[in-house]
Structure 1
């Protein structure tokens, strides 16, 4: 990455209120259920995380900076063994997300989330009732059938505008090798700000995120562009912590950010009329 892109990304995050997994309240948001249930099983993971220079900060030996956690050009993405299990009611905003994986260094990770909390930014853009009509979803920590990122203003432009079958936000507990992996920075410390997305495909077979079909690699300055693959599905999981750290060399410019994606995904949806 060229250095000029770091202040650009920092400015975009500042304008959009960070726009990822951060939130300002620890009060869970719940509504009356209509028995709608999403059940997701995902495997075949990818670690979207690359150390880009001498490590200046870490937690329990895990580099915190400088780290690129989106790797738009695909160079440095690593395969990991792991799985995700999600069972959630997107109307009641209740359920559970459990993920486990082993990173390339052999560390065992566990992610658990049972609380769902709306972030300070919109959690989706919906289209309708007419094709020209769009509405931003606010104060909803579990959403279905929405667009995020890109130039939607629902989340920072760290990825192209992408369709989400399901997306969640809230506090998450993380363990490393069986011990609590403690957030030392801020936000919901000692827990982490968690965010998941069940999206269309966002990377090509080389792991690249493209701005257009000519092979241009995506970056946040191209938020009105992007190539997605509607015949693919991916499950994204991130956990992070403020405060903003514009001098860290991190992408995105937060104190800590961890990003894994799973590309073999099964989804079951059940509901009552």
Structure 2
């Protein structure tokens, strides 16, 4: 605690002690006056009880004031924005001290000192405006987060759609490739069948030619045999030896 705060605390304790002593003196005077006055209707016991009640009430009031002022009797007072601005104007424009300005405006010195420290450090004179700004900033951040989340979800959905399209294309492409291959194979089969028909016709023609050639060969063999017989007959007539002719 700073020395000024200690001085204020001592002043508060002295004031409470003086009030407590005054209450005791009042009670003692009432008791002495009642003892001297024989016509009084209150007895000594009743006067003592009243004095005790007064002391209890004063102690209770002192505790309530302590609770209101805080643990050490130096709680900041609640002031409005006009008082804050007035304090700042008094100190900055007139050049008076914080203590004198606080006394003029009815503000605690500790509260005024805290206000001026905040004004010097941050340049602000109102807490509510800052709280509003903080709320606005938090709201803007929340909105920005919501917008970014929506954008990210949209991007994810677009990516998923693109992936699905690519997958469908990949599925369709093999089918189309197989269809093209089947078409090519069908064309090849048709070409081979046509060639087979042509070859079959050529084979039949060759078979017929072979038959004709065999017939010609047989006729030639017969002619050769006839010629050989004729040669033998001629040789026998001439009686000349001849070498046999073998085929």
Q: Specify which structure has the bigger relative contact order, considering alpha-carbon pairs within 8 angstroms and separated by 6 or more residues.
A: 1
TM over 0.5: no
- Which structure carries more helix by proportion? 2
| Superposition TM-score, scaled by structure 1 size | 0.15
Larger radius of gyration: 2
